[in-house]
Amino acid sequence: MFGGLAKSGPLRFRSSDVFTMDLSEDEPCWRSVTGSGMPGAGNPGGIAPPPRLDHVAVSLPGGRILVFGGSVAGLHSASQLYILDPTEEKPTWRILNVPGRPPRFAWGHSTCVVGGTRAIVLGGQTGEEWMLSELKELSLASSVI
């Protein structure tokens, strides 16, 4: 799990926290990977995504996390893809530079991974319009895996 809306007392802010949970364990529990000052939290290297909400974070084969889009403190930034492998000894964020025309930067969209080889992005809001019928596909075979 990456980011979202965090609350500290009366303040609400976008988060960049990363948590994982191993569902194969007899008693699964949340593990803090990065972002917060919580005990056990580290700060991976690389260029981390800015704190955000209304984005997607999907699990890829091997446990890697792909992050796309979201509301980033009112910024209309590029449609960047970020990847993190939280199972590495020293997790490192990477920006994926993918050829082709990316989806427009959006929040409130849906993404799923199909067959471990394709990520599908559907719809979203650009801040100016809803893109309900926009559908994009990313081949993960050569980009990530």
CA 93-40-42 angle, 5° bins: 25
* CATH code of the domain containing 130: 2.120.10.80
Print pLDDT tens along the chain (145 aa).
Answer: 787 778 778 888 787 788 888 888 899 988 877 754 434 445 666 777 888 878 888 888 888 888 888 877 766 555 778 888 888 878 888 888 888 777 776 778 888 888 888 888 888 877 777 877 888 888 887 655 4
The token duo for 9 is 């007392």
Task: Please name the residue that has the structure tokens 């596909």.
Answer: 137
Record the pTM: 0.77
Domain extent for 46: 2-143
Task: Please name the residue that has the structure tokens 């609350």.
Answer: 7
Tell me the HSE value of 101 on the side-chain side, using a 13 A CA sphere.
4
Number of domains in the chain: 1
Q: Which residue, 115, 53, 47, 40, is CA-closest to 81?
A: 47
> Amino acid identity of 6?
A
